Structure formats: C-alpha cells, structure tokens
Amino acid sequence: MSIVVVGTVAFDTVETPFGKGENVLGGSATYFSTSASFFTDVSLVAVVGEDFPEEHVSFLKSRNIDTSGLQRIPGKTFHWSGRYGYDLNEAQTLDTQLNVLMEFQPDLPESYRDAEYLFLANIDPDLQMQVLEQVKAPKLIACDTMNFWISSKPDSLKKVLQKVDIVVINEGEARQLTGEANLIKAARQIIALGCKRLVVKRGEYGVLMFTSDSVFAAPAYPLEEVFDPTGAGDTFAGGFMGYLANTGDLSEAGIRQAIIFGSVMASFNVEDFSLNRMKRLDYREIETRYKSFKSLTNFRDIVI
C-alpha cells in the first residue's frame, strides 16, 4: 500500500548544544516520507523554490519516494531557524521565512488520488482540507498541526479533525487545543471532535495513544546522545504510518506495533543532524531496535 504525505520541504538552520547545521535539508514531508520509505511506497506533495538543489530531490528519489507532487515555483524555499537548549524537548524558533510556502496550493497528481493512506503534515488547515477534497476513499487518514494553527485557525482545524482517523500532535498542542491541563481529559475531548484515535508525542517521554476505550503508553528509546530533535515528530509519524501501510493491519495490536516502529525511527533520527542518520540507516538496525523496545518495556503479568 502506498502513502501520500502533504507537508513542507524546507531548509533548516538548527543550533543545539552539540553543533549547528546551516541550510540543511528539513521539512515535515521530508522527514515523514524518508522515514516511511523504509516500510512502503511514499508519494510526496510539497513546494520548493528555485534555490532547492537537485541533490536533495535525488536523495528523496533514491529512497523510492514519488516526487511528482513536489512543485517547484519561483522564489525561495521555506526556511526555518531554531535553537535547542540542554532541554531538547522544545525548540526556540529564531526565524521563519515562509517564502514559496505562502503560495502553496497542494495539487495531487492523478496517480495520488487513490491513496489508501494519507498523512496531512503540519500545514495550514485550509490546505489540509483542500487535500482531503482531492483524495477518493483513503483507508486511513492521519494529521498533525501546530500551536500557530490552533490559535489562528481553530475553526478550519476542527473541520479537518472531524475528517481524519488519527490525530498525531504533541502534548502541549493537545492541551492548547482543548484548554485542558489534564492530558487524559484533553484526549477525551479531542476524540469527541470526531477522530477515532489520538497519538500524543511527548519527546523524551515517549508517546501516549488514546481511543475512546483504551490507552497505550510507549516510552522513548533512552539515548545517550541526542544531537538534534528536529524532525523527530514527523519521522515518528512516517514510521508509524509507513508500517501501517505495509501491513494493512489496523487492529489495536497492529497499530500499537506501528507506534513502536514510529518510535524506533524517531530514536534514530535524533542521533544526528538533519536526515543524516536516516541516510545511513538499514532495516536490520530498525528490527534490532524494535527488539530493544520490547526489552525496555517488558514485565511479567500477575495471575489474579
């Protein structure tokens, strides 16, 4: 099964306590599609400017990612600059140059419209809705968003949330969206908006997944060296959706397994700047780390 992802392809300038990456490849659709490409075929919809080097497109193609939905228009590519302190859970945005992103009109190539799996990465909810109107009958739709859209376009966002199966956001966003400090109550409210499932990303504390009648807690993989958390959330989502698309198993057990694959992918991604770790990752490492998640969390049941 193939996935369509709509989001950003960007240049990032990132500072962490461990180094700096200038004008490196980034963007939600880039991280998502690279991560998902380890599991399934991915088709990408995004926009870049005239300054976007062919080398980056070649990289995506080398991962077997369909880039026919990657628009190149006059102007400069979206550029994000941010900094992380020793608390690597939260980035401080230093600068955002939207550039060509301001003119982005997602237009899905005909071959994308039968997509069975769709991921709406963090972009303007009105654009997410435009994408939803172009796809035929996806088996599974998931979406992300961010604080900026929660405060500036709450109504558009809520319309999107009604039409997706899985919402994948971080802890602060879940609280902001509902105005509820308690995460379990917040989750209940978000599910009541119309989605079936909420996945809450908590950085180094892992992931909580909620349905109306279940909760699943997955830790983050404990790492001695976290170089750059940029893209961890999208890499997580890519592994998660990629695995689901690969197996087609949408049972609770199948979806939990996909959460772990997502967590595995995110844990690799933060080990280096930009997509550098993804570029030298092979599937055996992914399987081995999945096993490590099992030993990390495993404990005996009791008999009552």
Show which residues are catalytic: 234
Decide the pairing of beta strands 117-120 and 2-6. Answer: parallel
Whole-number Å distance between alpha carbons of 203 and 200: 9
Cα(277)–Cα(270) distance, integer angstroms:
8
CB nearer a second copy, residue 140 or residue 226: 226
Q: Are strands 2-6 and 19-26 parallel, antiparallel or unpaired?
A: unpaired
d(CA 155, CA 152): 9
186 near 174, Cβ under 8 Å? yes
How many CB atoms are located within 10 Å of the residue 54 CB? 8
Positive or negative, the Cα torsion across 274, 277, 281, 285?
Answer: negative
Torsions phi, psi for 124 (to 5 deg): -45, 125
Q: Which is nearer to a second copy, 118 or 232 (CB)?
A: 232
**Token duo for residue 210:** 């909620």
Closest CA to 160 of 128, 196, 206, 204: 128
Question: For residues 280 and 294, which CB has a smaller minimum distance to a second copy in the complex?
Answer: 294
Interface residues with a second copy (CB under 8 A) are: 86-87, 181-185, 188, 202, 204-206, 208, 214-219, 222-226, 253, 256-257, 259-260, 284, 287-288, 290-291, 294-302, 304
